[in-house]
Amino acid sequence: MSLQTISYSPINIGRWLVWLTFVALLILAPLLFSSGGSLSLLSLMGTIMIFALSYNMLLGQSGMLSFGHAVYSGLGAFFAIHAINLSASDSFYIPLSLVPLVGGIAGLTFGILFGYVTTKRSGTTFSMISLGIVELVFACSLMFPGFFGGEGGVSGNRVFGKALMGVSFGPQIQVYYLIAAWLFISTVAMFAISHTPLGRIANAVRDNPERAEFIGYDTQRVRYLMLILSGFFAGISGGLSAINFEIVSAENVSAARSGAVLLFTFIGGIGFFFGPLLGAIIGVLLTVMLSEITKAWLLYLGLFFILMVMYAPGGLASIIMMNFRLMANRLFIPLLPSMLKVTSAGLLVFFSVVMLIEMTYHLSLESAQGTTIQLFGAQIDTAQSSGWLIAAVAFIVGVAVFLRSRTSFMDAWDEANAEIERRIAGSGR
Amino acid sequence: MEFTVISLLNGLSYGLLLFMLSSGLTLIFSMMGVLNFAHASFYMMGAYLGFAISKTVGFWPALVLAPLIVGLAGAAVERIGLRAVHKHGHISELLFTFGLSYVMVELVQLIWGRAAVPYPIPAELDGPLFTLYALAFPMYRAFMMLVALLMLLVIWLLLTRTRIGLVIQAALTHPETVEALGHNVPRVFMLVFGGGCALAGLAGVIGGNAFVTEPAMAATVGSIIFVVVVVGGMGSLAGALLASILIGMIQTFAVALDWSVLSALAKVGLSVSPEFPVYRLLSITLAEVAPILPYMLLVLMLIFRPKGLLGTREG
């Protein structure tokens, strides 16, 4: 008598739906936002999305806070631009659509090299060493102008060889679809990695390294492998950015670039796989659009980041998912009044702070161009006290209302979430 | 000879300045487990406050007032910010100080502008202390060393000879026991954080006019003091002192020497033609690699002695 096992795995409709929506969005995005500027914005977002996802393989999945992730994407970008230039001069041939792979392999190689040193330690020390490595590479990049192009960087031309079926990668739209294709492949691959035994044990190493060692895993090795894989995807994103901008400079391997991806990833949310995607969109929008509106954009970005660290450590993704969970459990509506109160008080504080910052900036940096500024559609004279008075009163009132309404909101919020926990525990019994 | 003496003194004064920064960082780290990413920003804040105060009431009041204000700001940051994120763990604390470093640089630019400010050395300290053959050693450098050494003495006396120092030392290793004995450990944390920031602020006041007071100064020195702390051994004050002086010396000597592998080869009678494949690599002078030497030291240290010079723990 033979033993028969029956296996049954249902098609996970929800997951298919999510991935198909992702594909549809990638295809439709340039049709929805069709102006020239938004196309290059979308291309930029695509490269940053891969970068942020690869960063989250370290921070979110393995608990490694790196201040130097731009090393892998930047070096990948340098190798990619040299591959493009060599292909254009016929001394070596690789089709442009595969150039990101060159970047990826470069990122992987440097991951093997630098990761050996950085992953020897974990936690805070790892962070400090990663900062040391990025400074090292940045200083080196200025020292070897032959490869890194010195201050000006290395530029190239992505249109080389014969056009295949009319695709020459000259127009931005073709570059966008190349980026979108690589984004999709990389996202699927990174999602798959997070479900492999390695990805799972990386989570264990993040949560409790001691126990991971007790069950026989070498935590250093796990960190090392995750860093190498993450370097590979960072390199791909670097290769794509080399194709997109056709120029790579020392700024690509700088600590500033590494800090930016940390900000974006964290704001998006490190606890969920899709968080970095969200963070990349918001980060690019903030960087590109906010920097056009105001000179103080980095200050806003920093303050926003600090608020997220203090009050929403799960990032925007967790805020969205928590609210969805409330809605699914029909607990959202009762919370709405207190939530609205808190949000409106928060908005009042936000507007008054923006007003104060903009007026101060104007006084200190642009006072030569007159004393009035345009803010929220109104003319404000920074030389007169009325504007300052309005901002100060709005600030004080906003903070007072916020602090008062926050306590009751937090109580209601905690109570609702505790109720959900009880329901989950109850259904599991 | 005179070059060696002057460079030695310059390196020592720079190293002691680095120690003023890294000592606070190390104390905060070993006590609270918090790596204060914004530590160099407090140094910058000290320099700008020193500039602003010395413009109105003079350098000497600024030397006292600016570190005090920076220390109060640090204590406030600990009380309002860090204590709130403490429950989310060390990564969150590090992220908080990381965000703070962004905000502080922007705030400084908001108030004092993006260019460097003219922060002069006080007139009574301007000029050479002594001249050795043709090389002069500035009086201000000697003053910096004096302040740093005084500070070292005060910290040492405070930590070993006073009651609060004993509590701090005990709280470094056994915070729960200290709390059980009735001491307010969170307040001790706030004190240490504020004190560490005040030290950074003091370094800023005396370093700001010796070097340049500009918004980028925090980033320049920030990664170096991290190297100091790792090379010296995480949490070791003596190690931080040793590493500070070592790195101060390395940086001062390297920028003045134009030795390269090529010149070394020439000395033993070998000459390399420019067609040689790694000619460019061989022709790099020590002065050119000076900026990367601290980081090279960091990497080598991690490979050969991961716990640092005087560190006690690994991992």
Distance CA A374, CA A376 (A): 7
Distance CA A325, CA A315 (A): 16
Mean per-residue pLDDT, B79-95: 85
Tell whether B189 lies on the interface with A, counting CB pairs under 8 A: no
- What per-residue confidence (pLDDT) applies to A278? 92
Last residue of a domain, one of A320, A342, A364: A320
Tell whether B99 lies on the interface with A, counting CB pairs under 8 A: yes
pLDDT at B91 over 50: yes
pLDDT at B25 over 70: yes
Considering only residues 263 to 292 of chain B, which have any Cβ-Cβ distance to chain A shorter than 8 Å? 280, 284, 288-289, 291-292
pTM for the complete prediction?
0.86
Distance CA A354, CA B165 (A): 43
B100-113 pLDDT, tens digit each? 998 999 888 888 88
Domain assignment of residue A3, yes or no: no
The average confidence (pLDDT) of chain B is: 84
Start-to-end C-alpha separation, chain B: 43
pLDDT at B249 over 70: yes
- What per-residue confidence (pLDDT) applies to A294? 79
Mean per-residue pLDDT, A157-173: 76
Q: Give residues with Cβ within 8 angstroms of A46, minimum separation 6.
A: A176, A179, A180, A182, A183, A240
Domain assignment of residue A326, yes or no: no
pLDDT band at B277 (very low <50, low <70, confident <90, very high): low
- What per-residue confidence (pLDDT) applies to A367? 61
B172-231 pLDDT, tens digit each? 778 888 889 988 888 888 998 999 999 999 999 998 888 888 888 888 888 888 889 888
The average confidence (pLDDT) of chain A is: 85
Shared domain for A284 and A380, answered yes or no, is: no
Tell whether A251 lies on the interface with B, counting CB pairs under 8 A: no
Q: Give residues with Cβ within 8 angstroms of A274, minimum separation 6.
A: A317
Averaging pLDDT over each range in A23-27, A150-154, B132-136, B287-291, which range is the top one? Answer: A23-27
- CB A65 to CB B113 under 8 A? no
Taking the CA of residue A60 and the nearest CA in chain B, the distance in Å comes to 11
Beta carbons of A268 and A279 less than 8 angstroms apart:
yes
pLDDT at B278 over 90: no
A65-86 pLDDT, tens digit each? 999 999 999 999 999 999 998 8
Shared domain for A230 and A357, answered yes or no, is: no
Pairing of strands A154-155, A247-248: antiparallel
Contacts for A411-414 with beta carbons within 8 Å, 24 or more apart?
A: A412/A334, A412/A335, A412/A338, A413/A335
Taking the CA of residue B215 and the nearest CA in chain A, the distance in Å comes to 13
Beta carbons of B115 and B234 less than 8 angstroms apart:
no
Shared domain for A314 and A365, answered yes or no, is: no
Question: Domain residue spans in chain B?
Answer: 2-217
A304, β-bridge pairs: none
- CB B102 to CB A299 under 8 A? yes
Domain assignment of residue A343, yes or no: yes
Shared domain for A376 and A276, answered yes or no, is: no
**In B, which residues are within 8 Å of A255 by CB distance?**
219, 223
Domain assignment of residue A327, yes or no: no
pLDDT band at A11 (very low <50, low <70, confident <90, very high): confident
Tell whether A298 lies on the interface with B, counting CB pairs under 8 A: yes
Q: Give residues with Cβ within 8 angstroms of A299, minimum separation 6.
A: A357, B102, B103, B106, B107, B110
Question: Percent of chain B, pLDDT > 90?
Answer: 20
Beta carbons of B193 and B73 less than 8 angstroms apart:
no
Distance CA A336, CA A346 (A): 15
Tell whether A210 lies on the interface with B, counting CB pairs under 8 A: no
Which site among A117, A119, A122, A135 would you substitute to test the B interface, given the most B Cβ atoms closer than 10 Å to its Cβ?
A135
Tell whether B296 lies on the interface with A, counting CB pairs under 8 A: yes
Shared domain for A98 and A150, answered yes or no, is: yes
Domain assignment of residue A229, yes or no: yes
Shared domain for A92 and A144, answered yes or no, is: yes
Taking the CA of residue A140 and the nearest CA in chain B, the distance in Å comes to 7
Shared domain for A363 and A286, answered yes or no, is: no
More confident residue, B5 or A50: A50
Q: Could you tell me where the DSSP H helices lie in B33-137?
A: 39-56, 59-77, 83-85, 90-112
Taking the CA of residue A34 and the nearest CA in chain B, the distance in Å comes to 34
Beta carbons of B227 and B240 less than 8 angstroms apart:
no
**In A, which residues are within 8 Å of B234 by CB distance?**
124-125
Beta carbons of A214 and A51 less than 8 angstroms apart:
no
Nearest-by-CA chain B residue for A60: B91
Distance CA A310, CA A31 (A): 38
Residue reference for tokens 């974990």? A122
Shared domain for A305 and A349, answered yes or no, is: no
A191-209 pLDDT, tens digit each? 999 999 999 999 999 999 8
Taking the CA of residue B245 and the nearest CA in chain A, the distance in Å comes to 18
Mean per-residue pLDDT, A120-136: 86
**Least confident residue range of A358-362, A370-374, B44-48, B95-99:** A370-374
**In B, which residues are within 8 Å of A310 by CB distance?**
81, 84-85, 96
**Closest Cβ opposite residue B295 in set A127, A132, A144:** A132
**Cα Rg of chain B, angstroms:** 21
Last residue of a domain, one of A320, A352, A378: A320
Shared domain for A418 and A316, answered yes or no, is: no
Last residue of a domain, one of A283, A299, A320: A320
pLDDT at A179 over 90: yes
**Closest Cβ opposite residue B94 in set A124, A144, A357:** A124
Number of domains present in the structure of chain A? 2
- Domain containing A262: what range? 13-320
Taking the CA of residue A188 and the nearest CA in chain B, the distance in Å comes to 28
Shared domain for A232 and A149, answered yes or no, is: yes
Of B11, B48, B10, B64, which is closest to residue B216 (Cα–Cα)? Answer: B48
Nearest-by-CA chain A residue for B83: A310
Distance CA B232, CA B247 (A): 10
Of A45, A46, A71, A75, which is closest to residue A58 (Cα–Cα)? Answer: A71
pLDDT at A428 over 60: no
Tell whether B92 lies on the interface with A, counting CB pairs under 8 A: yes
Mean per-residue pLDDT, A400-428: 81
Domain assignment of residue A325, yes or no: no
Distance CA B291, CA B285 (A): 12
Domain assignment of residue A138, yes or no: yes
Tell whether A283 lies on the interface with B, counting CB pairs under 8 A: no
Which site among A128, A134, A264 would you substitute to test the B interface, given the most B Cβ atoms closer than 10 Å to its Cβ?
A128
pLDDT at B283 over 80: no
Mean per-residue pLDDT, A245-249: 89
Question: Percent of chain A, pLDDT > 90?
Answer: 32
- CB A124 to CB B95 under 8 A? no
Averaging pLDDT over each range in A90-104, A175-189, A304-318, which range is the top one? Answer: A175-189
Q: Return the CATH number at A256.
A: 1.10.3470
Distance CA A122, CA A219 (A): 9
Of B37, B43, B42, which is closest to residue B17 (Cα–Cα)? Answer: B43
More confident residue, A127 or A362: A127
- CB B302 to CB A301 under 8 A? no
pLDDT band at B250 (very low <50, low <70, confident <90, very high): confident
pLDDT at A168 over 80: no
Shared domain for A59 and A94, answered yes or no, is: yes
User: Could you report the predicted ipTM of this complex, rounded to two decimals?
Assistant: 0.85
Q: Could you tell me where the DSSP H helices lie in A145-208?
A: 145-148, 172-194, 197-207
pLDDT band at B85 (very low <50, low <70, confident <90, very high): confident
Shared domain for A149 and A201, answered yes or no, is: yes
Mean per-residue pLDDT, B286-305: 82
- CB B113 to CB A365 under 8 A? yes
Beta carbons of A132 and B308 less than 8 angstroms apart:
no
**Closest Cβ opposite residue B88 in set A129, A131, A313:** A313
**Least confident residue range of A163-172, A181-190, A395-404:** A163-172
pLDDT band at B315 (very low <50, low <70, confident <90, very high): very low
- What per-residue confidence (pLDDT) applies to B313? 59
**Least confident residue range of A42-56, A415-429, B176-190:** A415-429
- CB A364 to CB B110 under 8 A? yes
Distance CA A121, CA A118 (A): 6
A324-344 pLDDT, tens digit each? 888 887 777 777 888 888 888
